[in-house]
Structure 1
Amino acid sequence: MPVIVATITPKPDKFDEVGEVLVRLIPEVHGEDGCERYALHKGKDRYVFVEKWRDMAALGAHGGAPSIKAMNEGLKDLVAAPLDVQILEAIPAGDPDKGAI
């Protein structure tokens, strides 16, 4: 099951506006087939999604979903850098309930 870490870096004066765009799309993504986790976090200067998808097919469908198209359109001119999307594979270790997402 792929785990995604996607980082969005807003322009300094657009932080709150970027957050509004991202939060607005979350319910739609939660309804996508294969979405197991889609959680937004914020840091001092960035937003980070931690995502878990049933399989690569579900992740691929998400990439072409209306929610992602809307996000890209909504973030136009609000971000300081392109989205940094990392597709990760867990290396389970220790307690199985704590060692992987």
Structure 2
Amino acid sequence: MSVVVVAHIRPLPEHLDAVREAFVEILPAVHAEPGCELYALHEADGVLVMIEKWASQEALTTHMTAPALAGLGPKLAGKVGGAPEVQVLTPVPAGSKGAL
């Protein structure tokens, strides 16, 4: 079963562009990771929101230590207001379009 993740990243206002660019830079590498079905960056009111879909929990676990994500930490140091808020979601299918 696929795993859906939503992560909220809160850049410090003066670093919004740099943090956004750091995520944009890793998108191709993450998209190439085994089991990545969706890794999409969104933005609202100065908050970056990553919506992810992984083929399995194992794929998500591997992603958490993959080079692209590991290399992101130093680029974000001092530029975000804390750790990302991460939610791993359980689908509640309803109707013909009720699940990612």
Q: What TM-score comes out, normalization by structure 1 length?
A: 0.95
Give distance in 2, aligned partners of 1:78 and 1:17: 8
Give the equivalent residue in structure 2 for 1:47: 48
SS across alignment from 1:64: coil
Q: Does 1:8 align with 2:4?
A: no
1:1-101 to 2 correspondences below 5 Å: 1-95=2-96, 98-101=97-100
Give distance in 2, aligned partners of 1:80 and 1:61: 25
Deviations for 1:20-62, whole angstroms, at most 9, x for unmatched residues?
A: 1000000000000000000000111200010000000000000
Give distance in 2, aligned partners of 1:70 and 1:12: 22
Report the RMSD for the aligned CA atoms in angstroms.
0.7
The offset of 1:90, in angstroms, is 0.7
Give distance in 2, aligned partners of 1:84 and 1:26: 19
Stretches (4+) displaced over 2 A? none
Q: Where does structure 2 lack aligned partners over 5 or more consecutive residues?
A: none
Give me the identity figure in percent: 41
The offset of 1:7, in angstroms, is 0.8
